[in-house]
Structure 1
């Protein structure tokens, strides 16, 4: 296992997830239910599944689409979602 890649990926995903809607949803579910471990396990399983889909899809996409095109598409998608949130919010 490539330790440098592991820690870079860990740090990137951790920083991206801290304070996002997923974390807020988990906090809300915990407050409403009081079921700390159930919410923790469910949220962890959901993150693992979402990450697995991202890794699998990324592996396929990078075989057929240049990396630069994927970065542009991802950047445009983030901007579009941000604008949508600002306009709808």
Structure 2
């Protein structure tokens, strides 16, 4: 249950102001069809985070416990720093495809998540907790918590969120997880 709750909380916080949340706003404004956009986000996130969690699970089979502890600890500390860097969205990432709103969202979201903070966090969380299903479910729920409101209410919500504060809280959580891993706690 810890894996699920931590994964949900970290990704929901980390996603505020992230490139994929910005993509959600843009898709909602461009297409004005929330349900296919939400479905595309869900499917893309499940696929992307399942892949990332599989990589995290694989890492635990190749690295010994001491090396893994240092890699995870330093990864979480790096995530704490990275989350404080604001994201930008390329207009190229939102070009409509011939696959309609759902297909455009699916492809754009999947590609935008590649190498993104939340994908890297999913790898680290899966390695940390060793619970593939709970990490994927948690990170996916975290993405949906952050992005569904972005699709449904768009820009009005974005203007009211204290993005810097939310990122600071997420960075603090990553830092605590990193220090705990380096000291040998958790998992």
State the SS of the aligned residue for 2:21.
helix
Structure with more of its chain in helix, by fraction: 1
Other structure's SS at 2:17 match: coil
- Residue of structure 2 in register with 1:15 after alignment: 13
Within 1, Cα distance between the matches of 2:22 and 2:8?
Answer: 20
In structure 2, distance between residues paired with 1:33 and 1:26: 11
CA shift digits 1:18-43 (9 cap, x unpaired)? 22000110110110011111111111
CA separation of 1:69 and 1:8: change in aligned 2, threshold 3 A: closer
Q: Which runs of 5+ in 2 are unaligned?
A: 88-187
CA RMSD of the aligned region, Å? Answer: 2.3
Q: Which runs of 5+ in 1 are unaligned?
A: none
- Aligned positions, number: 78
The equivalent of 2:37 in structure 1 is: 39
User: Moved runs in structure 1, 4+ residues, more than 4 A?
Assistant: none
* CA gap 1:15/1:36 in 2 versus in 1, 3 angstroms: same
Q: TM-score, normalised by structure 1?
A: 0.71
Larger relative contact order (Cα-Cα within 8 Å, sequence gap ≥ 6): 2
